[in-house]
Amino acid sequence: MDVAIHRAGGPKILEECRQLGGCPTGEARITTGGNLQARYVIHTVGPIYRDGLHREPELLASCYRESLKLASAKGIKTVAFPSISTGAYGYPMDEAAKIALKTVKAYLEEHPEIELVRFVLFGKAAYEAYAAALKE
C-alpha cells in the first residue's frame, strides 16, 4: 500500500516523509496528499508479525489509534485504512481484523468529530475476515 500511495501521490509526499525523521512502529505521522485527491496522508508503521507474543497486538492497535488522533487533530472527518501489517509483515488477517475494528470502534465512540472510517481491503479473504470480525 505504501508504494501505491507514493506512486500516485508523487514526489511531494516522499519529500515530506523524509523531513519527518522516520516513524517508529505503532506511531503515526501526517503529510499532505501530494497529487492525491486526499488533502492528507497519515503514515503508520505496523508490527512485523512473529508469534503474537512480542507486543504485536498492542502495536497494531496503536497504529490505528495514533492515526485517528492525527485525523482528529487536523479536523479530518473521513479516514480510509488498509489492513495494516497483513501483507508483507505477515500479520494473520483474522486477528488483525479484530484488532482494527475494535480499536477504531472504541476511538469513534469517544470522538464524534470523525464521521466516517472506511477499510479498503484487497481480496475476498480480507473482506471475509473483516466481515466475520464485524459480526463478533
Give the catalytic positions in this structure: 2
DSSP 56-105: HHHHHHHHHHHHHHHHHHHT--EEEE--TTSSTT---HHHHHHHHHHHHH
What distance in Å separates the CA atoms of residue 19 and residue 23, rounded to the nearest whole number?
A: 11
What distance in Å separates the CA atoms of residue 37 and residue 26, rounded to the nearest whole number?
A: 26
Helix (H, G, I), strand (E, B) or coil at 118: strand
Question: Which grid coordinates belong to 134?
Answer: 464485524
